[in-house]
Structure 1
Amino acid sequence: MSHHGSCHCGRIKFEVEGEPASALSCNCSICQRKGSLLWFVPRGALRLLTPEEDASSYTFNQHVIRHRFCPTCGMHPYGEGKGPDGSAMAAINLRCLEDIELKAVPITEYDGRSK
């Protein structure tokens, strides 16, 4: 199944293939502030519908995750990095998808603050 998502103003638009079986709620310094619920997918499952250069990037700490955000409205619709096996992955902010019933997605708490 394909899901459509965007930032608040629509400058960043994308679609992602798959069905979220769960979401991750992280308490690290950035995720706690953003309030995102993350769904991890292979990077190939994410297809940008707007130019990649329309999104800004932010990295911190170990600089291994590119937190992608809209420079116009400030929303963080997705991030990019590598999974534990080294493969390219995307972290989709479920709150930025148009057609997801968040109450139906189990949420796993992750203690990113301690990592």
Structure 2
Amino acid sequence: MALKLSCHCGAVRLELARRPDFVHECNCSLCSKTGARWAYPDPGEVSVAGETHGYRRTDRPDPGAEIRFCPACGVTTHFVLTESTVARFGNTMMGVNTRLADEADLAGVELRYPDGRAWSGEGEFGFVREARVFE
């Protein structure tokens, strides 16, 4: 089943070929300030329609991702991996902000809470609380 998402004004639309198995609501400064809840599909399973602008964090020497957002309404829509990350690991994933979906379309999907503030950037995330399932 496809999952359709759009920014607030509708200028940017995304479609995932299938629903995610889980979504992350990370507490790092970037995710918190963008208000994003990320699904991590393969880029080949996502279509993006509409113009977006990008932002790369400046507090890291080599940011791994570029946040994309709608230039009209400012809503964070997705992220793509930076060139250096793709060179190291391949273009194997992107992030899609599932807050742009109708929450009813996420029923049964697990929502996880990784502790991005404490994450070193290596290895697995710790979690700040128990996961829940969208109803």
TM-score (norm 2): 0.72
Contact 1:40 1:91 (8 Å CA) reproduced: yes
C-alpha displacement at 1:31, in angstroms?
A: 0.6
Equivalent runs, 1:51-66 vs 2, <5 Å:
54-60=51-57, 61=60, 62-66=62-66
Aligned residues: 111
Larger RCO (CA under 8 A, 6+ residues apart): 1
Q: For 1:38 and 1:113, how far apart are their aligned partners in 2?
A: 16
C-alpha displacement at 1:100, in angstroms?
A: 4.4
Which amino acid in structure 1 is aligned with residue 74 of structure 2? G
C-alpha displacement at 1:35, in angstroms?
A: 2.3
Matched, 1:5 2:5: yes
| Alpha-carbon RMSD | 2.1
Which amino acid in structure 1 is aligned with residue 44 of structure 2? G
Percent identical residues: 27
* Greater gyration radius: 2
Equivalent runs, 1:1-115 vs 2, <5 Å:
1-50=1-50, 54-60=51-57, 61=60, 62-81=62-81, 86-88=89-91, 89-98=93-102, 100-102=104-106, 104-114=108-118, 115=120
Which consecutive segments of 4 or more residues in structure 1 shift more than 4 A? none
Question: For structure 1, which segment, 95-104 or 32-41, has the greater mean C-alpha deviation from structure 2 after superposition?
Answer: 95-104
TM-score (norm 1): 0.83
C-alpha displacement at 1:2, in angstroms?
A: 1.4
Secondary structure of 1:5's aligned partner: strand
